[in-house]
Amino acid sequence: MIHTVPVSLAGRSYDVHIGKGLLDQAGRHIAPLLRRARTAVVADADVAALHGQRLLSSLSEAGIEARLLTIPPGEASKSFEGLADLCDRLLALELDRGDLIVALGGGVVGDLAGFAASIYKRGIDFIQIPTTLLAQVDSSVGGKTAIDTGRGKNLIGAFHQPRLVLADLDVLTTLPDREMVCGMAEIIKYGLLGDRAFCDWLGDAIPAVLAREPLALAEAVRHCVAMKAEIVAEDERETGRRALLNLGHTFGHALEAENAYGDALKHGEAVGAGCALAFRFAAATGLCPAADAEAAALLLARAGLPIRLDQVAGHPFSADRLVAHMAQDKKAEAGALTLVLVHALGDAFVARSVDAPTLRAFLQSEGATA
Ligand code: GLY
């Protein structure tokens, strides 16, 4: 069964299809969006080897001529150099403004190909076919595209909505368990930020989702995409409520930065620990009941995510350094610390002008050094 979640953005509205077998049906979903029957598929070498041929066959059956452009796997491709190289290869294919690009892969490919699409000949359409759980529930929906620079992740980018998202649950069968756990962090994040009933459901369903049981997996992805679609429709450019989707991310980015964004700590793991820290900080400052912080940590731990600093790669951390990273976050305004915090399980809010000494003392109480 295929679930369809619409993202309503007036002239830029699109559908997110979720279900099994979508890769094999991609050609017939994509064909109506093309002005001429040709496209470029961007994938990293690993994803291309696993799923590229099936997508190309499906496109070819629909009469679409497709060229596969592979990029090296890993975050390093999300750079100015990687962007220039991809744009050059798109130009060599003589892709026109009326054509479109297909991003087949996880967050790196979606962000890079999406950003290339936003600037190629001043903007060309693109389609997301996310192949990780994290990309299916979060990064493929909502139009955030970006590359990294030496000064930080995702600092150069654009809002550019895809024309269509195809989330094929079958591709998750080959996903490493660690990547499933990372996707689970973003799934739990949705419950923690805005849906207590979903937290209750997850309390039972986490093992089934991680085991890729079809009904549980489909429900988890559908629910998160529906929440994201609703938030993005209300606040596409993150002037308000969309910022809540960054729950756990400011703490998480600081932990990732201390790991030089290396593989020892994956983004999802950092977000998991970050959510637990955001809840405990809210509890420590009297904003949220301690029982809710414990319930949040229990959910995250059930998914196998780190919930304490001493479980995070790079421990021990310096509280000063973590706070310095958090002050540089994209959400920070004029140097003031801005965090997504919580009043309760399922009730997040944006806290502006968070007191740095209080945050530092909290991180030390969590085991960080001065
Ligand atoms: N990943 C957060 C957002 O798309 O807003």
Q: Specify the CATH number for the domain of residue 117.
A: 3.40.50.1970
What distance in angstroms lies between residue 203's CA and the mean position of ligand 1's atoms? Answer: 24
Report if residue 323 sits inside a domain: yes
Distance, CA of 245 to CA of 42 (rounded, Å): 27
The mean predicted confidence, pLDDT, of the chain is: 96
Q: pLDDT value at position 90? A: 98
246 is catalytic: yes
Q: pLDDT tens-digit profile of 91-108?
A: 999 999 999 999 999 999
Distance, CA of 40 to CA of 42 (rounded, Å): 6
Say yes or no: 249 and 222 in one domain: yes
What distance in angstroms lies between residue 242's CA and the mean position of ligand 1's atoms? Answer: 7
Distance, CA of 153 to CA of 171 (rounded, Å): 27
Say yes or no: 116 and 202 in one domain: no
325 is catalytic: no
Report if residue 35 sits inside a domain: yes
Mutation to probe ligand 1, out of 182, 227, 228 (largest number of atoms < 8 A from CB): 228
Catalytic residue among 189, 253, 266, 360: 253
Q: pLDDT value at position 330? A: 64
What distance in angstroms lies between residue 60's CA and the mean position of ligand 1's atoms? Answer: 33
222 is catalytic: no
What distance in angstroms lies between residue 95's CA and the mean position of ligand 1's atoms? Answer: 29
Q: Give 120's DSSP letter.
A: G
**Ligand 1 touching residue 340 (CB < 6 A):** no
Q: pLDDT value at position 18? A: 98
Report if residue 370 sits inside a domain: no
179 is catalytic: no
- Contact criterion met (CB below 8 Å) for 101 and 67: no
Burial class (CB in 10 A: 0-12, 13-18, 19+), 9: middle
Q: Is the pTM of this model over 0.85?
A: yes
Q: pLDDT tens-digit profile of 166-181?
A: 999 999 999 999 999 9
Say yes or no: 226 and 152 in one domain: no
pLDDT over 80 (residue 329): no
Q: Which of 174, 202, 230 is the last residue of a domain?
A: 174
Mutation to probe ligand 1, out of 224, 242, 340 (largest number of atoms < 8 A from CB): 242
Say yes or no: 191 and 248 in one domain: yes
121 is catalytic: no
Q: Which of 154, 174, 194 is the last residue of a domain?
A: 174
**Ligand 1 touching residue 308 (CB < 6 A):** no
17 is catalytic: no
Say yes or no: 121 and 258 in one domain: no
pLDDT over 90 (residue 150): no
Report if residue 273 sits inside a domain: yes
Say yes or no: 147 and 198 in one domain: no
What distance in angstroms lies between residue 367's CA and the mean position of ligand 1's atoms? Answer: 29
Distance, CA of 369 to CA of 156 (rounded, Å): 32
Catalytic residue among 75, 179, 219, 238: 238
Report if residue 179 sits inside a domain: no
Kindly state the tokens that stand for 109: 């490919």
Nearest atom (ligand 1) to Cα of 231: 5
Say yes or no: 127 and 249 in one domain: no
pLDDT over 80 (residue 260): yes
What distance in angstroms lies between residue 231's CA and the mean position of ligand 1's atoms? Answer: 10
Residue range of the domain that includes 151? 3-174
What CATH number does residue 293 fall under?
1.20.1090.10
Say yes or no: 190 and 147 in one domain: no
Say yes or no: 201 and 307 in one domain: yes
Task: Give the confidence band of 335 by pLDDT, cuts at 50, 70, 90.
Answer: low
**Ligand 1 touching residue 142 (CB < 6 A):** yes
Q: Whose CA is nearest to atom 3 of ligand 1?
A: 245
Say yes or no: 167 and 138 in one domain: yes
Distance, CA of 310 to CA of 313 (rounded, Å): 8
Report if residue 157 sits inside a domain: yes
**Ligand 1 touching residue 138 (CB < 6 A):** yes
Nearest atom (ligand 1) to Cα of 144: 4
122 is catalytic: yes
Say yes or no: 167 and 199 in one domain: no
Q: Which of 174, 197, 230 is the last residue of a domain?
A: 174
78 is catalytic: no
Q: pLDDT value at position 331? A: 62
Among 113-122, 148-157, 192-201, the range scoring the smallest mean pLDDT is: 148-157
Report how many domains make up the chain. Answer: 2
Say yes or no: 203 and 56 in one domain: no
Q: Does residue 90 or residue 336 have the better pLDDT?
A: 90
pLDDT over 80 (residue 336): no
pLDDT over 90 (residue 333): no
Distance, CA of 215 to CA of 92 (rounded, Å): 43
Q: Give 318's DSSP letter.
A: B
Average pLDDT of the residues in 123-146 = 98
What distance in angstroms lies between residue 348's CA and the mean position of ligand 1's atoms? Answer: 15
Q: pLDDT value at position 306? A: 98
Mutation to probe ligand 1, out of 246, 250, 331 (largest number of atoms < 8 A from CB): 246
Q: pLDDT tens-digit profile of 191-231?
A: 999 999 999 999 999 999 999 999 999 999 999 999 999 99
Pairing of strands 65-71, 38-44: parallel
Q: Give 131's DSSP letter.
A: -
Q: pLDDT tens-digit profile of 280-308?
A: 999 999 999 999 999 999 999 999 999 99
Distance, CA of 42 to CA of 61 (rounded, Å): 19
